[in-house]
Amino acid sequence: MKKDLNIVWLKRDLRLQDHLPMQIAQKQEIPFIILYIYEPTLMEGPDVDIRHLRFIHHSIKEMNRYLENEGGSVHECYGEVEEVIDHIKEKHNISNIFSYEEHGTMRTWERDKRVKSYFMSNRITWKECSNPGVQRGIQDRDGWDRRWFKEMNKSIIDNQITNVGSIEISPKTSLPKEFKEALEEYPQGMQPAGTSYALSYLSSFMEERGKDFNKYISKPLHSRKSCSRLSPYLAWGNISSRQVYQKVRNHPNYQNHKRAFNSFLNRLKWRSHFIQKFEVECEYETRCINRGYESLQRSNSEIFLEKWKQGKTGFPLVDACMRCVKETGWINFRMRAMLVSFLCHHLDVDWRLGTYHLARQFLDYEPGIHYPQFQMQAGTTGTNTIRMYNPVKQSQDHDPEGIFIRNWIPEFSSIPSEFIHMPWEMSKMEQQLYGIALGKDYPHPIVDHQEAAALARDKIWGHRSDPVVKKESKRILKMHTRNKSM
Ligand SMILES: Cc1cc2nc3c(=O)[nH]c(=O)nc-3n(C[C@H](O)[C@H](O)[C@H](O)COP(=O)(O)OP(=O)(O)OC[C@H]3O[C@@H](n4cnc5c(N)ncnc54)[C@H](O)[C@@H]3O)c2cc1C
């Protein structure tokens, strides 16, 4: 006779504590297993990189180190959800599946709809819990702020996981050998995965690093230390927003550096705000938030796009950021904004051609933040001030000595700081003197940035008077803006 079994299905919630589906499963009489499924159709998506999958795998490995004391583990399977469940069903009678709602792309939404009907036809109950701070099915933001604070202040769920079970996974859905080997390698330059790292980054941020949060937030080099660097842990759910919120508010250092930590907490709230936008309209991945910008013509040079991706535009800070994010998976907010602004404004390339590239580079890729932010910086919302970042000024202001640039563009190691922001100003003789040949060792700038910015400004600001842009702006403000009095 088949035995009853419940399943906790993990997605972007790779932790054991403050985990509602796990708590619900623990309280049932039926034993449960914990499952993570590597789904081929999702992994083929344009936004997925092996770095994300490695982060997932190593987060699970860490969970397993804890779970093995309890005689259980997270089962990692490979296949479409229906295939994996079908194989488990051969030997078990699955009663319930518990998971969090996923605020993902159209691809995960379609998968959710597909598996929902599969679960129903197989008489499996699927209970999806809402993520604290994000609500499914709301039509406007009335009361949203109040509910966010309420959620953040609720008690942390303290899971004592004792009855997690273990089953034999069918070889048909276990991880293929090569895939497993690829997951094992973890890139040196990237933040290590797992809850214990999330907690230790949070502690060092509260104890030491965070006091300079506001001072260095825009600096490509210093922000690597003074920002929390919690983004990958939040994105993959090694830690919950609520755990972070409460740890910050209750830490003795909060009172000592209140301005810095309140700025940080604001950002934690922005996180939910952006994910909420995307939850309501996940089409933001593929179409302009403001439909009026669909008619804006771009030149979409493939050569420019490639040079941007490779970090070979001839603009040192732009190239250093792109090379840095490729190796480390992280750059700060302002540099992300500058990369997008440079692509869409100076190079006149449609945001859609660059957005997946950066999604794959960011270890903290979170669809709900990524696409709305990308479009804000590309100027296609119609409701935000259009910001155009001058790549030379950003460089002079935020990396005046060129330390960050030299880290990532070794070709510049012997160039004095006066030329680091505009190497094209070096004469042939100076190039010889400093051991670099522009056009050979490092590219000439691919555009005249001042001319390109002027053209972009005329184009994008001119388009704001388009009647569709105006109509859409009103719709967006109504749907996504918080009424602060509520
Ligand atoms: C084009 C573009 C794409 C982005 N894509 C992502 C992404 O895929 N994933 C991601 O987590 N962040 C993204 N961001 C937002 C931001 O750059 C990162 O959250 C931040 O740099 C992460 O570093 P941190 O954890 O040290 O942040 P901190 O400054 O310490 O902030 C703490 C947390 O607040 C949230 N947060 C911070 N800034 C923002 C913001 N501007 N909007 C929304 N939430 C914020 C993040 O969860 C972050 O981990 C993007 C920004 C831009 C301009």
Same domain, 424 and 446: yes
CATH number for the domain including 265? 1.25.40.80
Least Cα distance to 3 among 104, 89, 109 occurs for 89
Of 129, 164, 183, the domain-final residue: 129
Res. 483 pLDDT band, cuts 50 70 90: low
In a domain, 432, yes or no: yes
Work out the number of other CB atoms within 10 angstroms of the CB of residue 84.
24
Question: What token pair was written down for 74?
Answer: 């997270």
Question: For 286-306, what is each residue's pLDDT tens digit?
Answer: 999 899 999 999 999 999 999
Question: Comparing 362 with 137, which gets the higher pLDDT?
Answer: 362
**Same-domain check for residues 67 and 89:** yes
Q: Which atom of ligand 1 is nearest to the CA of 274?
A: 43
Residue 178 resides in a domain = no
Q: Which residues contact 480 (CB under 8 A, 6 or more apart)?
A: 141, 276, 277, 280
Residue 184 in domain: no
Above 70 in pLDDT, residue 479? yes
For residue 131, which of 249, 342, 275, 3 has the smallest C-alpha distance? 275
Residue 336 lies in a domain: yes
Q: Is 235's C-beta closer than 6 angstroms to any atom of ligand 1?
A: yes
- Dihedral pair phi/psi, residue 32, rounded to 5°: -130, 155
CATH of the domain at 373: 1.10.579.10
Query: Mean pLDDT, to the nearest integer, of 42-60?
Result: 98
Same-domain status, 113 and 146:
no
* 252 and 293, same domain (yes or no): no
Tokens of 140: 């406007």
Sheet of strand 32-38: strand arrangement: 74-78, 32-38, 3-10, 92-100, 125-129
Task: Classify residue 42: in a domain, yes or no.
Answer: yes
Cα 339 to Cα 28, 44, 313, 386: the distances in Å are 49, 25, 11, 14
* Average of per-residue pLDDT values in the chain: 95
The reply to whether ligand 1 has any atom less than 6 angstroms from the CB of 344 is: no
User: pTM score, two decimals?
Assistant: 0.96
Looking at the fold, whether 233 and 341 belong to one and the same domain comes out as no
CB-based burial, 173-195: b 16+ in 10 Å, e otherwise = bbbeeebeeebeeeeeebbbbbb
Parent domain of 249: 132-156+195-279
Q: Is residue 190 part of a domain?
A: no
What's the CATH code of the domain at 82?
3.40.50.620
- For ligand 1, whether the C-beta of 231 sits within 6 Å is yes
Q: How many independent structural domains does the chain possess?
A: 3
Overall average pLDDT of the 115-124 stretch? 97
Name the domain boundary from 233, 249, 279.
279
Do 140 and 52 reside in the same domain of the chain? no
* 58-74 residue pLDDT tens: 999 999 999 988 888 99
Q: Are residues 137 and 124 in the same domain?
A: no
Does residue 77 lie in a domain region? yes
Q: Is residue 37 part of a domain?
A: yes
Residues 235 and 326 in one domain: no
pLDDT, one tens digit per residue, over 381-425 is: 877 778 899 999 999 999 999 999 999 999 999 999 999 999 999
Identify the pLDDT of residue 485.
Answer: 41
The CA 43 to ligand 1 mean position distance, Å, reads 23
From 148, 191, 205, 271, give the residue whose CB has the most ligand 1 atoms within 8 Å, as the site to mutate: 271
Identify the domain boundary among 279, 296, 318.
279
| pLDDT per position as a tens digit, 231-287 | 999 999 999 999 999 999 999 999 999 999 999 999 999 999 999 989 988 899 999
Nearest atom in ligand 1 to 231's CA: 49
Q: 8 and 97 in one domain?
A: yes
- Reported as a single tens digit per residue, the pLDDT across 466-475 is 888 888 888 8
Q: Do 367 and 442 belong together in one domain?
A: yes
Residues 112 and 143 in one domain: no
User: 402 C-alpha to center of ligand 1: Å?
Assistant: 24
Same domain assignment for residues 430 and 291? yes
